[in-house]
A and B are shown apart, each in its own frame.
Chain A
Amino acid sequence: MQNASAINSAEYIEKPTNYLNNGYTIKSWLLTKDHKRIAIMYLIVVSIFFMMGGLYAATIRLELLTPQSDLLQTQTYNKVFTQHGILMIFFFLIPSIPAILGNFLIPIMIGAKDLAFPRINLLSWYLYMIGGMLTLWALMQGGVDTGWTFYAPYSTQFSNSYVMAVGLGIFINGFSSILTGLNFIVTCHTMRAPGMTWFRMPLFVWAHYATSLVMILGTPVIAITILLLAAERLARIGIFDPAIGGDPILFQHLFWFYSHPAVYIMILPGMGVISELISNFSRKKIFGYEFIAFSSIAIAVFGFLVWGHHMFVSGQSIYAGLVFSFLTMVVAVPSAIKMFNWTATLYKGSILFDTPMLYALGFLGLFLIGGLTGLFLGSMGLDVHLTDTYFVVAHFHYVMVGGQVIAYLGGIHYWWSKMTGKMYSEFWGKLSAMLVFVGFNLTFFPQFILGYQGMPRRYASYPEELQVLNIFSTAGASVLGVGLVMPVIYLTHSLIWGKDAPANPWMLPGLEWRIASPPPTENFETTPIVTWEAYDFSDENGLDMEEARRKNIVTV
């Protein structure tokens, strides 16, 4: 068998077949068990959901341009932000990195032919589709107006929108998420190639392992919660509605038991991508590999202990509040560790400022702000003033958009050549990365100030004195929108007119760069034997830099 270390990937590896040209029929896609094809199918659908969520966001910002609720009726506005939240969280952000990049890369990164359960992987996609379609159908019928948090008793007794249908959509989608997590965990345990020890795995895989733990342990709880909610709506079962003996705060406990860990489902994969990007674009081993790996696990585990910080003013006991606030502080520390290690990795690197790296650096700044403002909220006394204001809105957009979405975009650019075999335009890439960064800050930074001034969230109309900052925010959203539409255009453009990608455009050591672009259906002709550490740029690692330089392989 060929030793993987002998592969010189700087060359074009002519492959007669790859996963993309291996069958063109619709059936060959819809019934595929190939993790790479499933990833592409996710990519398409998830992007559509993102655009829809984005359109809702644009509507929100337009409405908030003026203090009155003039563009939309109040009723409509309530539905718009609810649906924005639901689509973005459940149908975009949660599956974004894991289901697309994770699906595509985890098997390749650990040297496997596929995930452990390809059929279940396909099933996940179908569950996602069914859940998504059901939700879309409900939105078509009239939508929901409960806020993405579905607080009882409004959602169980008072709202007459399509809570049940959307709930069912999220329920089904939840199982998609659970099965994906299950698949990743098993794959990490049993499918690693010879020599691929746990501590040789790329941090991207570690991050997904941690994410999967959260998916498996948390998601079922939201499933049962939604089931109870549906039962209560359908049959007036009195679990949450105090009018018939229930307890609305119990709903919040159950909801946040999942939904706080879920915010880590929404950031850990992004952190995985950033670890890859920072290390590879500094052409240097990552600083403190083990610490980053374990901090992912620590976040996943401790993330389960802090859900009550969403409930400081809900009527929860002071004692419980204290415990949750304390643990919230504890769970910030692993994030801090990651942050410092990433920064330290840049030291004495050989840093390349290509598009993915721009995104990665953007992530560092934005997640930093988002995370630090999380501490504001975790501090009980301050949260009393800040909760349910735009400060919270700004916080979570900083971590979710500034964090995960930016990481997702960085990852998509980084692996685009691998996934599609085409190179995108670096010029447009950089331009849009910068537009996104500027637009994003302009959109959401004013919201911190608005929040401290006391502008409550979920308001269709707001006091006039708050208009100035809202105008800034809306203006920023337009810039952000332009910045986000651009990748759609130039990436699509590259599919047809882009240059063919070499197997390893940046001369990087990861396993995914040692196979052709796009990868063959089987990933590896023969199972690779791994003899190197992750991010090993040393010369012994079979990457012939001299050769690459001589041939002057042009990356962009």
Chain B
Amino acid sequence: MATHAIDTHDTHDHYHPPGLQHQFEDMGQQQESASIGMWMFLVQEIMFFGGMFTVYLVFRSKFPMAFAAGSNHLNVYWGAGNTVVLIVSSLTMALAVHYAQTGKRMAQVVCIILTMILGATFLGVKAIEYADKYHEGIVPVTGLNLRTALHTEPNTAGGSHVPGDPDSLEKSSLDAPSSAENQRGTSGSASNSAGHVEDEYVNPNGNFLWTDTSLAELAQKEDYLTTAEKVGYFSNGQIDANKFRDKVRIFYYIYFMMTGLHALHMIIGLGLMAWLLWKAWSGAFTADYFSPVEMSGLYWHFVDIVWIFLFPLLYLLGRHFGAGGH
């Protein structure tokens, strides 16, 4: 078999330190390759998350108040707590590398275990937060939430939402010219309130509950709405809870996509740690050969860095509006 032949063929004139792969000349070359390779991988990761950050940037710059509203509803204590957890785990990871470099097996094992525990804690907290949001009915699109209807004043409901009509969302949103009328802030046309006494907004994808438009009102009052917001939140010159809610939903889409991807990386990281733990336990790493520990460390720290940005962007960006969470 080919691979077998490679190995036997090679050994005859080389001293083979443990862990040296056949294609390399020496440990130095191997370590260098591993570290460049890992960094290239991290660059790849930066761009991967970068796509999401771009999406965030675009929508946040359009709808800052909706984002602030959504963000304020997240629990800052859980978020901050998790940040601390991750930073501590980064420390233990760094220590694990340190002990690997200095060849201390037991300390290394302990550090890895600690890192894993902290990582799991992080995921646990995330799970709690997700569950929380789920029970509050603000996980967009799950469709599994209680279908509690949101009642709004008839005159702010945009007129075209027919009770119980699942198409009404599309109907209004594709009815482009009429919304443009709204843009001008003129009063609606004669027909739009025909027969709607009680408007009930039913999201065809399950309910995403959101009634609080106070931030949009605040911004309207103090006049710092963006152009997009001036169009995007209003129906007939008044703040439309439903339209505002749709923008908050975008925040939550992005929140769940970003934190979900981050959590996925944590899970992969935990798998990596488990493997490291097993290797470290069986004494595979020495002061000469520890690059797997180092490389996993790089990965772990990177995931930490992503969170360092996610935390302020998702949890903190609207706190100063004083509209507070719940």
B250 touches A186 (CB 8 A): no
Known A242-B173, A245-B250: A190·B36 in contact at CB below 8 Å: yes
Chain A residues, Cβ within 8 Å of B49: 224
A216 touches B44 (CB 8 A): yes
Chain A residues, Cβ within 8 Å of B43: 216-217
B33 touches A117 (CB 8 A): yes
Known A186-B33, A224-B48, A521-B2: A236·B205 in contact at CB below 8 Å: yes
What are 30 A-B contacts defined by CB distance under 8 Å? Answer: A32-B2, A112-B23, A113-B10, A113-B23, A182-B37, A183-B37, A186-B33, A186-B36, A189-B36, A190-B33, A190-B36, A191-B29, A216-B47, A218-B47, A220-B51, A224-B49, A224-B51, A227-B261, A235-B140, A235-B142, A237-B140, A237-B141, A237-B253, A243-B169, A243-B173, A244-B246, A245-B250, A247-B59, A250-B55, A522-B9
**Most chain B CB neighbours (cut-off 10 Å) among A31, A32, A190, A221:** A190
B6 touches A522 (CB 8 A): yes
Chain A residues, Cβ within 8 Å of B194: none
Decide if A551 is an interface residue (CB 8 Å cutoff): no
Decide if B275 is an interface residue (CB 8 Å cutoff): no
B2 touches A239 (CB 8 A): no
The 5 closest A-B pairs by CB, nearest first: A224-B51, A220-B48, A114-B23, A220-B47, A235-B141
A74 to nearest B CB, angstroms?
A: 24
Chain B residues, Cβ within 8 Å of A236: 141, 205
> B4 — nearest CB in chain A belongs to which residue?
A23
Decide if B249 is an interface residue (CB 8 Å cutoff): yes
B207 to nearest A CB, angstroms?
A: 13
Identify which of residues 28-58 in chain B touch chain A, using a CB-to-CB cut-off of 8 Å: 29, 32-33, 36-37, 40-41, 43-45, 47-52, 54-55, 58
Q: How far apart are the CA atoms of A119 and B199 in the complex, in Å?
A: 61
Chain A residues, Cβ within 8 Å of B59: 239, 247
B1 to nearest A CB, angstroms?
A: 4
Q: How far apart are the CA atoms of A244 and B32 in the complex, in Å?
A: 49
Chain A residues, Cβ within 8 Å of B142: 235
> B10 — nearest CB in chain A belongs to which residue?
A522
A185 touches B40 (CB 8 A): yes
B40 touches A31 (CB 8 A): no
Q: How far apart are the CA atoms of A159 and B311 in the complex, in Å?
A: 36
Identify which of residues 382-440 in chain A touch chain B, using a CB-to-CB cut-off of 8 Å: none
Identify which of residues 1-29 in chain B touch chain A, using a CB-to-CB cut-off of 8 Å: 1-6, 9-10, 21-25, 29
Known A189-B36, A218-B47, A245-B250: A23·B2 in contact at CB below 8 Å: yes
A34 touches B6 (CB 8 A): yes
Which bucket holds chain A's interface residue count? 35 or more
Known A219-B44, A239-B253, A527-B25: A191·B54 in contact at CB below 8 Å: no
Chain A residues, Cβ within 8 Å of B54: 253-254
A221 touches B51 (CB 8 A): yes
B63 to nearest A CB, angstroms?
A: 9
Decide if A28 is an interface residue (CB 8 Å cutoff): yes
B55 touches A190 (CB 8 A): no
Chain B residues, Cβ within 8 Å of A185: 36, 40
Chain A residues, Cβ within 8 Å of B261: 227
A174 to nearest B CB, angstroms?
A: 10
Decide if A197 is an interface residue (CB 8 Å cutoff): no
Decide if A228 is an interface residue (CB 8 Å cutoff): yes
Decide if A457 is an interface residue (CB 8 Å cutoff): no
Identify which of residues 169-194 in chain A touch chain B, using a CB-to-CB cut-off of 8 Å: 178, 181-183, 185-186, 189-191
B173 touches A28 (CB 8 A): no
> B9 — nearest CB in chain A belongs to which residue?
A522
Q: How far apart are the CA atoms of A325 and B173 in the complex, in Å?
A: 34
Q: How far apart are the CA atoms of A293 and B29 in the complex, in Å?
A: 25
Q: How far apart are the CA atoms of A216 and B42 in the complex, in Å?
A: 10
Contacts A237-B141, A247-B59 supplied; 19 other A-B pairs, CB < 8 Å: A19-B2, A22-B2, A27-B1, A34-B6, A112-B23, A182-B37, A185-B36, A191-B29, A220-B48, A223-B48, A224-B52, A225-B51, A235-B140, A236-B141, A237-B253, A243-B170, A244-B169, A254-B54, A521-B6
